[in-house]
Amino acid sequence: MTEYHVVPSGNQWRLQKAGGSVVSNHRKKQPAVSAGQKKTSSGDTLVIHGSDGAVQDRRNY
């Protein structure tokens, strides 16, 4: 089970694994969320943060 996070990073959005390893960087939030959905598999979790860093949504797959 892997946990992925979509987080703000300066003026970009980052998809990263829990623990900090960066998977990808994106100019906008929605492409980062889409990349996270493609990366997850059964048992994984995608945590989506807002521009303030607070958790907005948690999706279990």
Q: What is the pLDDT along the chain (61 residues), one digit of tens a residue?
A: 999 999 999 999 999 999 889 999 999 999 999 999 999 999 999 999 999 999 999 999 9
- How far, in Å, are 3, 10, 19, 45, 52 from residue 40 at the CA level? 8, 24, 16, 7, 24
The model's pTM: 0.93
Joined together, the tokens standing for residue 44 give 């994984």
3-state helix, strand and coil shares in percent for the chain, rounded to the nearest 5: 20, 50, 35
Spatial separation of the C-alpha atoms in residues 31 and 23, rounded to whole Å: 13
Domain that holds residue 19: 3-60
Counting the structural domains of the chain, the total is 1
